[in-house]
Amino acid sequence: MQVLVVGGGGREHALCWAIAVSPLLGKLYCAPGNPGISSIAECVAIGAEDIAGIVAFAVEKRIDLVVAGPEAPLTLGLADACAAAGIKCFGPSQAAARLEGSKVFTREVAEAAGVPGAKWQRFDDPAKARAYVRAEGAPIVVKADGLAAGKGVVVASTVEEAEAAIADIMESRIHGEAGATVLIEECLVGEEISFFALCDGETALPLGAAQDHKRVGDGDTGPNTGGMGAYSPPPALTPALQAQVMAEIVQPTLEEMSRRGTPFKGVLFAGLMLTEAGPKLIEFNVRFGDPECQALLLRLRSDLLPALFASCDGGLDMFDLNWDATHSLVVVMAAEGYPGSPRKGTEIKGLEAAAEVPGVQVFHAGTARRDDGALVANGGRVLAVAGTGKTLQEARDAAYAAVDAIDWPGGFCRRDIGWRAL
Ligand code: AMP
Ligand code: GLY
């Protein structure tokens, strides 16, 4: 089998790492990849959003499966373009990828499917949005409808804060057209987890969950990021709760997407709040989380590749994936300045020493090779240092031992990943 992974971050490094050990694999390519990925796959200089370029390459190399890492190529129609060229693609069609592209669409699907979630209303008129916020009171959540690079959500603790968010999003259009419509939601309280299921349009196979750390600073302080660390499994997700999430959230959503003529294939990522009244949906994404993917795949014992094929072809009902009884914990190392303007070009040393720590994998995210061969920072989130262990504490100790072996004065990380569970 020839496989092409699309993307070049830590999530794609972990996907390549898991696919590379499959006995079914012939050759692995990654577009565009990164220096870490280049040690296990042939990296090709095609951007993850260059749909025509990816499809042309896949046709030329007779690729058996294209695996989409990030959401952007999927929302641009990568899976549809692959299908038109007779190539299989792991990931949903453009129509099904709207589950990530539009929050209003997600809430409409969830409501039609009877999926539990926050009480919500949509508004195209800022005056009506303000009146609603005043009537409901705080805390309350204001969200831009469209994609806003993960920054379109304001959890407002006062009515004034919510009104300011309405002005910023709808009137000043700080997220552009993504803010033409807003959703105003009830504020849910509880533990937040990222839950994943492989889907073939009809059947869903649970992959379990991870807990992300969205804020940049220790103790969950400072601005939101793409994720500064994750661990798996989250202790809050009991087997009974997982069965409830599958029955009340994942399966009804698949059925509703099929009813609409846009069956969902790929990985469904449900952001959930575990409230006192049970699990409630916050959002869907149509791809693996980053760094949740790294945490999950470290615990997978089964061959991932056949399950990715089954997600395209159907037959996931015949699968039963095996997971290690171990724990995993991922620490993201970011370049100074992230999530604002990260400093590029600072040199990173000591990765060999880090990789020698037992139970550790170092995934590259935003790295590059300088002309002289040195490894340098080339993005916001630069490395994802992942540890495994028999307990979460052991996984954490391994990950931080590896972090401490890395010599990178231009980078930083949170020192408290996993604190909620420890
Ligand atoms: P989203 O971009 O939809 O993932 O939202 C970003 C973050 O805002 C989530 O990870 C939650 O922590 C928080 N959030 C979103 N919606 C709600 C809600 N209805 N209640 C409480 N927190 C929320
Ligand atoms: N870590 C959250 C995400 O990938 O969206």
CB 349 within 8 A of CB 384: no
The residue whose C-alpha atom lies closest to atom 16 belonging to ligand 1 is: 282
Break the chain into its structural domains and give their ranges.
Answer: 2-93, 125-180, 191-318, 327-412
Best probe residue, ligand 2, of 193, 195, 267, 285 (max atoms within 8 Å of C-beta): 285
pLDDT tens digits, residue range 361-382?
A: 999 999 999 999 999 999 999 9
Q: Where are the alpha helices (DSSP H) in 21-125?
A: 51-60, 71-75, 78-84, 98-101, 103-113
Centre of ligand 1 to C-alpha 160, Å, is 19
CB atoms within 10 A of CB 387: 31
Position 256 scores a pLDDT of 98
Centre of ligand 1 to C-alpha 224, Å, is 11
Rounded to an integer, what is the distance from CA 165 to the centroid of its chain?
25
Categorize the per-residue pLDDT at 101 as very low, low, confident or very high, splitting at 50, 70 and 90: confident
| CATH code, 327-412 | 3.90.600.10
CB 86 within 8 A of CB 24: no
Amino acid (one-letter) located at 346: T
Position 343 scores a pLDDT of 97
The residue whose C-alpha atom lies closest to atom 8 belonging to ligand 1 is: 153
Rounded to an integer, what is the distance from CA 120 to the centroid of its chain?
24
Q: How far apart are CA 105 and CA 291, in angstroms?
A: 26
Centre of ligand 1 to C-alpha 47, Å, is 30
Fold for the domain defined by 191-318: D-amino Acid Aminotransferase; Chain A, domain 1 (3.30.470)
**Is residue 128's pLDDT more than 90?**
yes
Ligand closest to the CA atom of residue 212: 2
Categorize the per-residue pLDDT at 324 as very low, low, confident or very high, splitting at 50, 70 and 90: confident
Ligand closest to the CA atom of residue 187: 1
Amino acid (one-letter) located at 303: D
Position 207 scores a pLDDT of 97
Centre of ligand 2 to C-alpha 289, Å, is 4
Two structure tokens written together for 91: 């990931």
HSE-CB of 181 using CA atoms within 13 angstroms: 11
Name the more confident of 152 and 22.
22
Centre of ligand 2 to C-alpha 338, Å, is 16
**In sequence order, what are the residues at sequence separation of 6 or more whose Cβ sits closer than 8 angstroms to the Cβ of residue 30?**
4, 5, 6, 7, 8, 12, 16, 37, 38, 41, 42, 43, 44
Ligand closest to the CA atom of residue 153: 1
Q: Which residues pair with 209 in a beta bridge?
A: 195
Best probe residue, ligand 1, of 153, 193, 281 (max atoms within 8 Å of C-beta): 153
Q: Which residues line ligand 2 (CB under 6 A)?
A: 212, 226-227, 285, 289-290, 292
Q: 43 in ligand 1 pocket by Cβ < 6 Å?
A: no
Question: Do strands 65-68 and 88-90 pair parallel, antiparallel, or not at all (unpaired)?
Answer: parallel
Position 27 scores a pLDDT of 98
pLDDT tens digits, residue range 5-18?
A: 999 999 999 999 99
Which CATH number among 1.10.287.3610, 1.10.357.10, 3.40.50.20, 3.40.50.150 corresponds to the domain 2-93? 3.40.50.20
Position 102 scores a pLDDT of 85
Position 54 scores a pLDDT of 98
**In sequence order, what are the residues at sequence separation of 6 or more whose Cβ sits closer than 8 angstroms to the Cβ of residue 10?**
290, 291, 293, 294, 332, 363, 364, 365, 381, 383, 384
Exposure string over 289-306, b if 16+ CB within 10 A, otherwise e: bbbbbbbbbbbbeebbbb
pLDDT tens digits, residue range 165-191?
A: 999 999 999 999 888 999 999 999 999
Q: Which atom of ligand 1 is nearest to the CA of 214?
A: 10
Q: 187 in ligand 1 pocket by Cβ < 6 Å?
A: yes
CB 381 within 8 A of CB 10: yes
Ligand closest to the CA atom of residue 142: 1
CB atoms within 10 A of CB 198: 22
Environment class of 112 (CB within 10 Å of its CB; exposed 0-12, middle 13-18, buried 19+): middle
pLDDT tens digits, residue range 281-319?
A: 999 999 999 999 999 999 999 999 999 999 999 999 999
Q: Which atom of ligand 1 is nearest to the CA of 189?
A: 21
The CA angle 324-329-334, to the nearest 5 degrees, is 145
| CATH code, 125-180 | 3.30.1490.20
How would DSSP label each residue in 276-307? TTEEEEEEEESS--TTHHHHHHTTB-S-HHHH
